[in-house]
A and B are shown apart, each in its own frame.
Chain A
């Protein structure tokens, strides 16, 4: 064996060295390589492909185009890669139709290449011809069965065609071939489009497991948890996102709004500074900053910020809601009325808005319309006891003891319901007011507040003793109501009509969550109120 090998080597060496020495002598004589010509009739088609590619990946498109032109001239348009890159550049420059034509040329030049078909499909996709794109992708898939990109893009095309089942199938195929963050994001999106939050979370969880440093995945997962009210996990993921990218706009806004819920207004404000630098014209940002100032009792600054938010997004009812709330607190009832009625125009399905409007009307000495607003609020909101309490207070102050009693009992029912279903803590102010009203209506002994409630946020909501008025004083004086309202704001959106699920305090406005669809037809009740 060894002998044979050595023999072979002997045999090989002269053979290989011969041309070497023969060739190497020539240039030595001539002091350069220029004399050595390849004596080729036809230029090698792919001669400068590497150069085209290097220019292309450096995004030096001008240089790239120059080389492509040269190469195509030399090869009489046969160089497939040059055409391919030219098409890619066209597409980047927005000339999708031209790029499509060039990719089709490439596909003609080498029909067995899946890559060309993929690019044709991609251009079709960008032109919005999803069905045609799917057809071409299917062609490409026949040539290359193990390409995740084909499956992924097919999935995306199906999403646009609203065929979610097929889209899911393709995306799962893509994940099976090779896992990519983008596929997870798309799959999550499908579940969100179908309204299946749990499944979406499941997908994003897997995605985060696969790529734990992707801030977009972390932020989206955090926001989903936030939507479901799982605050611990939401904060964890948002925090992770911020560790990897301390300037992530979405994550900062979401984390900030959570901090606001916990009363950490200063921390939230510091975080918002980063966003204010990066995205100075973001309505949710200025809304949240405004509510931070509101929490810190800097009402003028709060109004300034909220008005800026309103200027940036005049049709956002949440900002108008907050503006109404702040103006109520500032005892500017006329202004509050305007903001609230504007908010109702955009969002006619929310009980709290009518309640606040009723409070404004009460203070504008228009009890008739206030009562109507309360009635509407009760109709829309089936679980917030505050509405009934405020209504009861109004009725009591108007001397309608019967009505007040009915509302009070209604409130008790809701409180029981809430206590049964969740561990919601009631606002101290509200409890206090309810107890007083109960006493006044002589039903005080049937106390529903079985749990002594501690208000953790009491330092922000002054429950001054001077305000705890005696029975002779009319209940629900301006200030007290304003205070009660400020806690109402913290209730944010209780899903109206849906009883039972866990309600916890939510910030007045969550950033970037899907807005409830505002229906176009004007609400009759609210119109009536304003007519009178």
Chain B
């Protein structure tokens, strides 16, 4: 099953490989074992929809994929064991995020699986539907509510309703419901029917989940109970209680969250970083209802990963930035191509934490802070990444590609990521020879001739030049006298006759050309 389809290399060798793309990477010196590659696995997903967990409590870790399906048409929940799909079930809507978490203390300690999709979080236990959490309805605009109540009692005609709603939309802080917005779009004749059809319904405002992550409740242990943290389209962050599924905390953001990163415990102290659609990253703490710090990226973030205490952000400007938890910029690394996805690589046995970034040029780069640790080359651009325990193997890297392929690699137990190996040093281009144009024997001979007879050459050249000018001038005068000179048709565009000599300054004065331009003078020029 294993196929040597992709290769990886250390950063030092990565450079040389760039220069000699044909050189095959040495399988023996690679840090990774190719466990599985299926180019037609038909998995289309994002890193946020990948999760690894021991779902059955049998010590065999499974891969959970919230699959969007080809073209986002057939969303499915897939559970993989090794290279094979264990179960596959259709989903009602596209999954925005998947997470596994422990819901309660009692044994057996099997983690639950949460899938965020639309306005709901679907919770599975033992791969069976267990609970559905729906986001609470948003409070409707009271004015709007009032108007529809009036419509219900037929106290207001559709045209006035439209005008009033229009007024609310222009000013109000609270946006209108879909019902009202639809109504505003209607033609005059359709309004009556619409109102009579919908007036009895209460107006609703519903939002959707954009991102989800987990946060330990009160213990820092690996197998502690975790809360779900949701980011919603109406610019809020919600923390859910893992047992009762009530909202424990609500925080508001200035923009819609896209990526979340949380550290700490909910009951003690936690830090929440939310990368938002306005290109900013907001950092919140336990007691803050509003963001405490703000990082302005001036580009869209494409990934957010926390490595120890450093927030690593990938931006659409093809670069990775490191920030402190207070929002101070630490470093920037430029990538060779656009970043598609990012995730954390954590090797527990060696205490290593690093960032993996899947790039558009088919590379997966692994960085610890600014240092490039490893480059994995894949046959297709990697769009989602996940690292962790899979099956019974501790350090497994799971990648899915743009074309729907699945790549599984296992980090060799002997593999050590060396810091600074091959880092710095001169760029490889410095070793290349300069392409200095060669000069011929003839050139050297000519040079010698010029040295000997430079003065004569110069004089001949100058004489010829004057003769040339003289001839040109004579021809010009002759043309004028015999009225053969070109005449402009319009008075506004006078015709100018230029006699320009092009002396080919090849240094010998041996070649001469005469080019007579008669060009139409521009008006005023």
Chain A residues in contact with chain B, CB under 8 A? 12-13, 16-17, 20, 23-24, 27-28, 31-34, 36-38, 40-51, 53-54, 56-60, 63, 66-67, 75-78, 110-112, 115, 148-149, 178, 180, 182, 211, 213-214, 245-247, 269-274, 276-278, 280, 289, 293, 300-301, 303-305, 307-308, 327, 330-335, 337-339, 342, 363-366, 531
Contacts and interface: CB of A to CB of B under 8 A. Distances in A.
Contact of B439 (A36, A180, A211, A300): A300
B444 interface: yes
Nearest to A77: B185
A144 B429 CA distance: 48
Interface stretch (B52-60, B392-400, B502-510): B502-510
B312 to A, nearest CB: 15
Interface string B276-304: 01100000000000000000101011100
Given A17-B244, A273-B429, A307 B458 contact: no
18 contacts: A16-B245, A32-B90, A33-B122, A44-B118, A50-B233, A75-B178, A112-B171, A245-B334, A246-B427, A270-B430, A273-B430, A276-B432, A304-B439, A332-B447, A334-B507, A338-B505, A364-B458, A366-B458
Interface string B156-177: 0000000000000111010100
Given A333-B450, A334-B457, A365-B455, 5 more contacts: A24-B132, A42-B182, A270-B430, A332-B450, A364-B459
Contacts of B109: none
Contact of B258 (A53, A180, A293): A53
B434 A41 contact: no
A32 B89 contact: yes
Contact of A273 (B92, B278, B316, B432): B432
B207 A276 contact: no
Q: Which secondary structure dominates chain A's binding surface?
A: helix
A246 B128 CA distance: 55
A148 B436 CA distance: 49
A342 B507 CA distance: 12
A211 B85 CA distance: 49
B132 A36 contact: yes
B437 A304 contact: yes
Contacts of A342: 505
Nearest to B181: A78
A532 to B, nearest CB: 8
A335 B450 contact: yes
Interface string B325-343: 0000101101000101100
Contact of B96 (A50, A272, A335): A50
Q: When A and B form their complex, which 5 residue pairs have the shortest distance between CB atoms, in order from nearest?
A: A335-B507, A277-B429, A338-B505, A27-B129, A42-B178
Given A28-B129, A50-B258, A339 B505 contact: yes
Interface stretch (B147-155, B198-206, B263-271): B198-206
B403 interface: no
Given A46-B207, A303-B439, A332-B454, A41 B507 contact: no
Contacts of B298: 149, 180, 182
A307 B455 CA distance: 23
Interface string B411-446: 000000000000000110111111111110001100
A50 B211 CA distance: 8
Contacts of B90: 32, 34
B182 A49 contact: no
Contacts of B506: 335
A58 B447 contact: no
Given A44-B206, A45-B181, A180-B298, A58 B450 contact: no
B207 A247 contact: no
Given A33-B129, A304-B438, A277 B246 contact: no
Contact of B461 (A38, A54, A334, A531): A334
B118 A47 contact: yes
A59 B447 contact: no
B436 A364 contact: no
B94 interface: yes
Contact of B94 (A32, A51, A63, A300): A51
B50 interface: no
Given A23-B132, A67-B72, A178-B296, A331 B454 contact: yes
Contacts of A41: 179, 198, 201
A57 B300 contact: yes
B46 interface: yes
B208 interface: yes
A182 B454 CA distance: 55
Nearest to B425: A246
B383 interface: yes
Contacts of B345: none
Given A53-B258, A338-B503, A16 B71 contact: no
A48 B302 contact: no
A333 to B, nearest CB: 5
B244 A13 contact: yes
A58 B44 CA distance: 14
Nearest to A339: B505
Nearest to A48: B94
B355 to A, nearest CB: 17
A40 B181 contact: no
B494 interface: no
A59 B508 contact: no
A342 B502 CA distance: 11
Given A41-B198, A338-B505, A46 B170 contact: no
A246 B439 CA distance: 32
B119 interface: yes
Query: In the complex, which of the residues A24, A63, A334 has the most CB atoms of chain B within 10 Å of its own CB atom?
Result: A334
Given A50-B96, A334-B508, A16 B246 contact: yes
Residue in A67, A335, A365 whose Cβ sees the most chain B Cβ within 10 Å:
A335
B301 A57 contact: yes
A211 B258 CA distance: 26
Contacts of A308: 437
B210 interface: yes
B517 interface: no
A110 B93 CA distance: 27
A331 B119 CA distance: 84
Contacts of B128: 28
Contacts of A58: 302, 338, 340-341, 383
A90 to B, nearest CB: 17
A36 B466 CA distance: 97
Contacts of A332: 447, 450-451, 454, 507
B35 interface: no
Given A271-B430, A274-B429, A305 B132 contact: no
Contacts of B206: 40, 44
Nearest to B329: A211
B94 A24 contact: no
B13 to A, nearest CB: 18
B524 to A, nearest CB: 15
B468 interface: no
A84 to B, nearest CB: 10
Given A300-B444, A337-B458, A34 B92 contact: yes
A348 to B, nearest CB: 17
A527 B432 CA distance: 45
A402 B341 CA distance: 81
B175 to A, nearest CB: 7
A278 B96 CA distance: 42
B296 to A, nearest CB: 5
B429 to A, nearest CB: 4
A334 B338 CA distance: 54
Contact of A335 (B208, B434, B437, B508): B508
Contacts of B131: 20, 23-24
Contacts of B210: 49-50, 53
A47 B206 CA distance: 10
A349 to B, nearest CB: 21
A417 to B, nearest CB: 36
Interface string B128-154: 111111000000000000000000000
Given A41-B179, A304-B439, A334-B509, A16 B454 contact: no
